[in-house]
Amino acid sequence: MIELKNVSRHFGNTIAVDGVNLTIETGEVCVLVGSSGCGKSTTLRMINRLLPYSAGEILVDGEDITTMNPEQLRLNMGYVIQGTGLFPHWTVARNIAMVPTLLNWPRERINARVDELMTLLDLDPSAHANKYPQQLSGGQAQRVGVARALAADPNILLMDEPFGALDAITRENLQLEMLRIQKQVRKTTVFVTHDIDEALKLATRIAVMDQGRIIQHDTPENILRHPASDFVENLIGKQDRGLKLMSLRPVRDLMANHTEPRQSEPGEHVLREEDSVRLALSVMLWQDLRQVAVFNAQEQETGVITRERIIQEGV
C-alpha cells in the first residue's frame, strides 16, 4: 500500500505538486492522468525518491520512505519509463537481470528468472536473449523494459508513460498484455499517462490531476458517470461517454445464459464472455444482426446477447 499525505513540491515560486492526498491499495492499478505539466510524473518520481518533496509524507506499507535507504527502496519498486531506458551496451538478458544482479542472486536463479520473464512477456528467449536493445522493435524493447522492472519480483510497479512513444497497434497490444500479466502478478501499480482511454482500460482507480492537484480519484465507471468538474468532463469527452461506459462492461453482464453450455462451431470472429459490450454492439451493427452468440474460453456457446438489451441497459 502506498499513501501520500498532503504531499507538495515547489521549486522557487512554482508549485509542481500541491497538497496531494492519495492512497493506493495493495494490488490495484492506480492511473494518474492529466495534461502535460500537471504534476503526474513528478508525483510518481517522488514515490521512489528520484525527486524530493517539500512537504507532507509518503508511506509505503506504513513506513515513511524518507527513513529508508533510497537504493533499497527502489530495488523493491519496478520502474518503467517512456523510451525504455535500456542500457545500449548490455544484451537483453543482461538488462533484464539488472536488479537481480544488484541483489546478488546466484547465477542459475538469475538465468532461470530471465527465461521465465521473457516467456511471460511473449519474447522468445532463444531468439532475443543475446540481442542488443537497438536490434529490437519499439514494442519488443518496451516488453524488455517491463520484464526488467518485474525481474526481482518487486511489490510495487511504477510506470511513467511507458507506452507513450509506441504506435497505436503496438500500444494496444501491450495494454492487453499488461492486463493479462497484472491478473497473474497483482502488483501495486502506479501508472502515469495523458491518454484517458489508456487510463480507462487499465485502471482499478483513476486519479485525475490538474495544476498539481488531484481533481478526482475514483473508479473508471464513477469517473465517467459522475465527473467532479468541467475539467474532468472535458477530459473524458462529453459526447463519447456512453460508448466509453459500454467498453468498461463485459458481455457477461448483459447476456442471456443458456441453461447448459452448447457445443457449436464458433465462427472466425467469436464474441467471448469477457469482451466489452461495446464490441458486441459493434459486431451486431457491422454484420446487421439482432443478436450474437457468446462463447466461453473452452469454445462452448454459453448464451446470447441481444441488441435490444444493450440499448436498454448497456450504460
Which residues of this protein are in contact with other proteins, per CB under 8 A?
45, 48, 50, 71-75, 77, 79, 81, 83-89, 98-99, 102, 132, 134-135, 148-149, 158
- DSSP-assigned beta bridge partners for residue 188: 156
Question: Are the CB atoms for 273 and 255 separated by under 8 Å?
Answer: yes
**In the complex, what is the shortest distance from the CB of residue 169 to other proteins, in angstroms, rounded to a whole number?**
25
User: Judged by CB, which is closer to other proteins: 99, or 284?
Assistant: 99
- Least distance to other proteins from the beta carbon of 149, Å? 8
Q: How far is the CB of 130 from other proteins (least distance, A)?
A: 11
The least distance separating other proteins from the CB of residue 86, rounded to whole angstroms, comes to 8
Q: Which is nearer to other proteins, 135 or 234 (CB)?
A: 135
Least separation in angstroms between residue 193's CB and other proteins is 17
Q: How far apart (Å, rounded) are the C-alpha atoms in residues 258 and 252?
A: 12
> Which of residues 97 and 277 has its CB atom nearest to other proteins in the complex?
97
| 147 or 284: CB nearest other proteins | 147
**Residue (84 or 175) nearer to other proteins, CB:** 84
At closest approach, how far in Å is the CB of 156 from other proteins? Answer: 12
For the bound state, the minimum distance from the C-beta of residue 95 to other proteins, rounded and expressed in Å, comes to 10
Reading phi first (left if > 0) and then psi (alpha if -120 to 50, else beta), residue 158 is in beta
Residue among 73 and 255 whose Cβ is closer to other proteins: 73
Cβ closer to other proteins: 86 or 223?
86
Helix axes 241-248, 277-287, angle to 10 degrees: 110
